[in-house]
Amino acid sequence: MSVRILIVDDLSFMRTAIREIVEASGFQVAGEAENGAQGVELYRSRQPDVVLMDITMPVMDGIESLRRIIDADPAARVVMCSALGQQEYIVRAIQYGAKDFVVKPFRPERIVSAVRKAAKVHG
């Protein structure tokens, strides 16, 4: 069965870029959220296999959204995707239970391998 992914990013072009990468790799997009609060809500209603989570967003940032998602579902698989210069968040994100941390700008293969690893899909 196809891995279902929730994309959380405030930039529409970034969500589109990620969508194209994951769909081209045979994964399915379970939903798109433009801030962390929407991410928490869509995680609950869509139950994706993997979340690709931006950090800097209005309303609720990705670190808080990660914290709430893991709080509600300790088995949640969240991969943080954030711009260069935000590595300070890596430690906190990993402490909160993030599975991986992809630095933007990223190569498509990096997103795909992070999703595969998080979802434990091989090949």
Residue numbers at the binding site for Mg ion (CB under 5 A): 10, 54, 56-57
Nearer to Mg ion, 34 or 49 (CB): 34
| Residue 70 · residue 44 · CB < 8 Å | no
Nearer to Mg ion, 34 or 100 (CB): 34
Q: Using CA atoms, how far apart are residues 44 and 54, in angstroms rounded to an integer?
A: 18
CB of 30 to Mg ion, least distance (A): 20
CB of 61 to Mg ion, least distance (A): 9
Which residues have C-beta within 8 Å of that of residue 2, sequence separation ≥ 6? 26, 27, 28
Nearest one of 47, 50, 53 to 33, comparing CA atoms: 53
CB of 97 to Mg ion, least distance (A): 20
Nearest one of 36, 35, 44, 37 to 11, comparing CA atoms: 35
Nearer to Mg ion, 110 or 116 (CB): 110
CB of 15 to Mg ion, least distance (A): 10
Nearer to Mg ion, 3 or 42 (CB): 42
